[in-house]
Amino acid sequence: MGKEKLKKYIPYTFIFPALLLLLVFSLIPILVALVISFTGLDITGLGNWSTVKFTGLTNYIQLFNDPTFLQSIGNTIFYVVLGVPLVVFLSLTVAVMINLSQNKFFKTMRLLFYTPSITNTVAVAVVWSYIYNPSLGLLNEILGKIGIAPIGWLTDPNVAKISLIILAVWKAIGLNMLIFLAALQGIPRSLYEAAELDGANFWQQTLHITIPSMRFSIFFVTVTTIIGWFQFFDEPFVMTKGGPLNSTNSMALFVYQNGFQNSNFGYAAAGSFVMFAVIIIATLIQFKLQRKQRGEE
Amino acid sequence: MKFKRVASLLGALLVGAFLLAGCGSNSSNNNSSSNKPLTFWYAGDGDADVKPMIKQFTKKTGIKVKIQSIPWSQYNDKLLTAASSKSGPDVLLIGTTQIAQFASSNSLMDLSSTVKKDQNLAPSKYFSGSEKTTMYQGKYYAVPWYAETRVLYYRTDVLKAAGYNQAPKTWNQLYDAALKLSKRGKNMYGFNVDGSEPTFGFMFARQNGAQLMKNGKTQFNSSQMVSALNYLHKFIQNGASPKQDLKLTIAQSFGKDAPIPMFISGPWMMSSIKSDAGLKDSQWNVAELPKGKNNTSVMGGGDLAVFQYSKNKTNAIKLLKFLSKKQSQLTYYKQSDSMPTLKAAWNDSSLQSSKIQVFRKQLNHSQPMPAVKSWDEIGQNYLDVWQKIALQNANVQKSMNEFNKQSQTLIDK
């Protein structure tokens, strides 16, 4: 009996430290932030709690009347809608191509595509700001050579978002490619051999064997990428600060600006909960779709 | 993943605040802890800039001091964490624009009585603009330590070629010179209307006689401020200034042909120009700002404060007084190029070069931005409004009416 009980509790002792960390550094702060999102906490309130007023839903109501926040939501959706399919498609393509062979060239390419992912975003963003520089950047220099007028990569409100997406996609391909590669290598060779015997060509094999066998890894990459892109932060933070004309501001950056630059902690907390809700909803929809797909087969 | 850093910062800040909210008030300044080393927070490279001075202090008083160097870019986050956890340094360097915020969060010790008692710290010894940065709601929360003010940088040779033997002295001259210089060719400008400097429009408004705030009410849609912004807008409309930041290095914008031969900036540009622009000393100069109705510049810099929750306030004040001495300010100037706030220090031989003396004169006509805790946010909002004016030709009066209303809401909150 005692042994039984011990057996039951042992697993908990193993996960206890992780749970404790999760509790102290994630769950409690999230709860605290939830409470704060209903108050008008600002820098005065930090020093003197008695001045903090409970404001109910004011922050949330104000948020949805704040053109800057609404624009940030719009921008974030733009990032997700354009960026996520690009990342999934491109990293899958790269993975399939790299998987064609195991020789030195392909191994080098694998390394090359992976390098951006292990480089610090801030460092990458600084280098890309040079590339995008309107007057002396690499891109405009090349465009100038072939007679095209310079483009305001980061200074034109219509182009800046796309410039940031290009950078983020370039950076995201590596890691996802690696996940796809692992999945690709797990597909039994016998399937391809059978298909070859039946006379299927490369495209037919890719469409009917490779992609269906990778359904789970595609799902995984899509979910993590969507979550990551909803939290789009580093690129606009380092390169544009949300400008020009707020055209590159994202929800995460909006929260940062309000929380850490303007010290409107209550307002920022409310913003972060809206973001939280959006991400949860997006992820739930994904899970639903996934389950539906499985149910059909 | 990307956002985790921010989330965890916010989390740590808030949890820290809750856990420590109770214990903070236990701090007292009993003298038994006087042997404990003081902690001094410095924004920048403390080893190079202040260590020699601190060593002297330790030698003289036997009080040990730990210097903690924090980059300016992270300084505000660090101060926020200290303010919410109520644990931090004993003495700290604080940006002049941060005083209102951290005084309102009750993180800085009220130094009014110290300032009144000590002749050396008397407000009259400092530039009036510097002294104002240390004051919040009628009390002193810091002592001025180093001063920064904006002056006009210009290329003497380029202006001479265009027929100007000296820097423009009035708004009209500035505009005429800028317009003429912009006619030198394609991608050439005369002056930079700085679209990324949150004080820029306010500075010109003051020069036009505007009062930014009256009895706690913002006055950003006053006729003086609107006409000042219209004046700046004229530079952009007529191609005398670039519309937005061209992201040029100083060598590209100010060196050689100088696409931007005139701009307004602070003393930190001096060393960049000397080391990076590739110019002879005679090819460029600085001048006091051109006059509208006056030529008020923006006072900035750093002040020294004592942390409210320091357990060793007696020694902290000793260190603060030591660093505020004329000799210390001069040593600090020599180590870091940060200009003294004590008027008397300016008689020293190290500050007599003609370029430096221009700053000295401008310091007499420099005022900080109003000491309001939400000023940072107002400044950021101003940049957004200005972008709409500069890039989309938004109506200035209408934009400022709206901006004024928005700012008043922030202040009343």
Q: For chain A, which domains are there? A: 66-296 (1.10.3720.10)
Does residue B50 sit in the same domain as residue B103? yes
Q: For residue B104, with 0-12 CB atoms within 10 Å meaning exposed, 13-18 middle and 19 or more buried, which class applies?
A: buried
Chain A window 29-48: which residues touch B at a Cβ cutoff of 8 Å? 29-30, 32-33, 36, 40, 42-48
Are the Cβ atoms of A231 and B107 closer than 8 angstroms?
no
Residues 6+ apart with CB under 8 A from B110: B139, B140, B141
3-state class of B136 per DSSP? strand
The whole-number pLDDT of residue B348 equals 94
Facing B377 at nearest CB: one of A134, A157, A262: A262
A217 close to B (CB below 8 A): no
Beta carbons of A46 and B252 less than 8 Å apart: no
Q: Kindly state whether residue B273 falls inside one of the protein's structural domains.
A: yes
Report whether pLDDT(B19) > 50: no
B3 within domain boundaries: no
Band of residue A281 on the pLDDT scale cut at 50, 70, 90: very high
Collect all residues of chain B within an 8 Å Cβ-Cβ radius of residue A243: 383, 387
Q: Which of B362, B368, B364 is nearest to B151 (CA)?
A: B362
Percent of chain A at pLDDT > 90 equals: 53
Return the closest-CA partner of residue A168 out of A74, A231, A219: A231
Find all residues with CB under 8 Å of A111, minimum gap 6, and list them. Answer: none
Chain B residues 211-270 with a CB less than 8 Å from chain A: 244-248, 252
Residue B205 resides in a domain: yes
* Mean pLDDT computed over A180-196: 91
Q: How far is B187 from chain A (nearest CA, A)?
A: 10
How far is C-alpha B263 from the geometric centre of its chain's CA atoms?
Answer: 17
Q: Do A261 and B380 touch (CB under 8 A)?
A: yes
Q: Where are the extended beta strands (E) located within B4-46?
A: 38-43
pLDDT at A238 over 50: yes
Is B318 inside any structural domain?
yes
Q: Taking the C-alpha atoms of B133, B138, B140 and B143 in order, what is their torsion angle to the nearest 10 degrees?
A: 30
Band (pLDDT 50/70/90 cuts) for residue B296 is very high
**pLDDT (0 to 100) of residue B11:** 52
Q: What are phi and psi of B47, to 5 degrees?
A: -60, -45
The pLDDT value given to residue B362:
96
Measured distance CA(B35)–CA(A266) in Å, rounded: 41
- Using the structure block, give the residue that is written with the tokens 């932060």: A233
Q: Which domain holds residue B345?
A: 9-148+300-362
How buried is B324 (Cβ within 10 angstroms: 0-12 exposed, 13-18 middle, 19+ buried)?
Answer: buried
Pick the closest to residue A169 from A122, A113, A123 (CA basis): A113
Q: Which residues of chain B lie closer than 8 angstroms to A228, CB-CB? A: 1-2
Residue B281 lies in a domain: yes
Chain A contact set for B83 (CB, 8 A): 43, 46-47
Q: Is residue B169 part of a domain?
A: yes
Nearest CA in chain A to B84: A46
In a domain, B40, yes or no: yes
Residues B14 and B39 in one domain: yes
Q: Do B156 and B74 share a structural domain?
A: no
Would the CB atoms of B413 and A42 count as touching at under 8 Å?
yes
- Which one of B328, B343, B362 terminates a domain? B362
Q: Least CA distance to B379: which residue of chain A?
A: A262
Tell me: do B139 and B175 sit in the same domain: no
| C-alpha dihedral sign at B264, B270, B272, B275 | positive
What local confidence, expressed as pLDDT, does residue B14 receive? 52
Q: CA torsion sign, A124 to A130 to A134 to A137? A: negative
B204 vs A193, B264, B295, B342, CA distance in Å? 77, 11, 8, 26
B10 inside 8 A of chain A by CB: yes
Close Cβ partners of B21 (under 8 Å, ≥ 6 residues apart): A49, B86
Q: Give me the residues paired with residue B170 across strands.
A: B291
Q: Are residues B186 and B246 both part of a single domain?
A: yes
Instruction: Measure B2 CA to nearest chain A CA, in Å.
Output: 6
Q: B122 CA to chain A: closest CA distance, Å?
A: 28
Q: What pLDDT, in 10s, does the model give residues B397-412?
A: 999 999 999 999 999 8
Return the minimum-mean-pLDDT range out of A32-36, A121-125, B117-121: A121-125
In chain B, which among 388-407 make CB contacts under 8 A with chain A? 388, 391-392
Enumerate the residues of chain B whose CB falls inside 8 A of the CB of residue A259.
6, 10
| Boundary (domain end) residue, out of B345, B362, B379 | B362
- CATH code for position B250: 3.40.190.10
Q: Over the stretch A78-98, which tens digit does the pLDDT of each residue have?
A: 999 999 999 999 999 999 999
> Is B261 found in the same domain as B395?
yes
Chain B: residue whose CA lies nearest to A236: B2
For residue A216, name the pLDDT band (cuts at 50, 70, 90). confident
Our CA-based measurement puts residue B7 at a distance from the nearest CA of chain A, in whole angstroms, of 9
Q: Are residues B23 and B80 in the same domain?
A: yes
Q: How far apart are CA B16 and CA A93, in angstroms?
A: 46
pTM of structure: 0.86
Inter-chain contact A264–B252, Cβ cutoff 8 Å? Answer: no
Over the stretch B342-398, which tens digit does the pLDDT of each residue have? 999 999 999 999 999 999 999 999 999 999 989 999 999 999 999 999 999 999 999
Q: Of the ranges A81-90, A164-173, B8-17, which one carries the lowest mean pLDDT score?
A: B8-17
B126-136 residue pLDDT tens: 999 999 999 99
Distance to chain B for A208, nearest Cα, Å? 33
- Whether B1 maps to a domain, the answer reads no
Q: What single DSSP character describes residue B342?
A: B
Query: What pLDDT, on a 0 to 100 scale, did the predictor assign at position A295?
Result: 67
The answer to whether the Cβ–Cβ distance between B10 and A29 falls below 8 Å is yes
- When pLDDT is averaged across residues B231-249 and rounded to a whole number, the result is 92
pLDDT of residue B198 exceeding 90: yes
Characterize A42-62 residue by residue with b for buried, 16 or more Cβ atoms within 10 angstroms of its Cβ, and e for exposed. Answer: bbbbbbeeeebeebeebbbee
Parallel, antiparallel or unpaired: strands B297-306 and B143-149: antiparallel
Residue A264 with chain B: CB contacts under 8 Å: 377
Closest by CA to B10, choosing from A275, A9, A18, A120, is A275
- Asked if residues B229 and B389 have their Cβ atoms less than 8 Å apart, the reply is yes
User: For residues A288 and B279, what is the distance between their CA atoms, to the nearest angstrom?
Assistant: 66
Higher pLDDT, A117 or B304: B304
Q: Which two tokens stand for residue B215?
A: 């009895």
Measured between beta carbons, the chain B residues lying within 8 angstroms of A28 are 11, 15
The answer on B283 and B241 residing in a single domain is yes
Instruction: State whether A43 and B3 contact (CB < 8 Å).
Output: no
Q: Do B258 and B117 belong together in one domain?
A: no
Cβ-contact A60, A190 below 8 angstroms: no
* B275 shares its domain with B308: no
The candidate with the shortest Cα–Cα distance to B190, out of B289, B286, B262, B277, is B262
Give the model confidence (pLDDT) of A105-155 as tens digits: 998 988 999 999 888 888 888 889 889 988 778 999 899 889 888 888 998
Question: Among partner residues A30, A232, A272, which is closest to B2 by beta-carbon distance?
Answer: A232
Residue with tokens 């002879």: B280
Smallest CA–CA distance, residue B248 to chain A, in Å, is 7
With 60 as the cut, is the pLDDT of residue B279 above it? yes
SS3 B20: helix
B185 shares a domain with B119? no
Of A164, A227, A263, A278, which to mutate for an interface test with B (greatest number of B Cβ within 10 Å)? Answer: A263
CA B233, chain centre distance (Å): 24
Domains held by chain B: number: 2
Show which of residues 123-152 on chain A sit within 8 Å of chain B, judged by CB atoms: 129, 133-136
Picking from A28, A129, A259, the nearest residue to B10 by CB comes out as A259
Mean of the per-residue pLDDT values of chain B: 90
Find, in chain A, the residue whose alpha carbon is nearest to that of B78: A260
Q: How many CA atoms lie within 13 A of A95 on its CB side?
A: 27
CA within 13 Å, CB half, B119? 0
Q: What is the ipTM of this complex?
A: 0.80
B353 and B388 belong to one structural domain: no
Q: Provide CB contacts within 8 A for A28, sequence distance 6+.
A: B11, B15
Q: Does A272 touch chain B (CB under 8 A)?
A: yes
Chain A residues with beta carbon closer than 8 angstroms to that of B107: 46-47
At residue A167 the predicted structure's pLDDT band, cuts being 50, 70 and 90, is: very high
Q: Which chain B positions have a beta carbon within 8 Å of A36's beta carbon?
A: 14
Q: CA A247, CA A157: separation in Å to the nearest integer?
A: 5
Scan residues 90-129 of A and list those with Cβ closer than 8 Å to B. 121, 129
Q: Count CB atoms within 10 A of the CB of residue A149.
A: 7
Report the residue of B9, B14, B15, B72 to disrupt the A interface, i.e. the one with the largest count of A CBs within 10 Å: B14
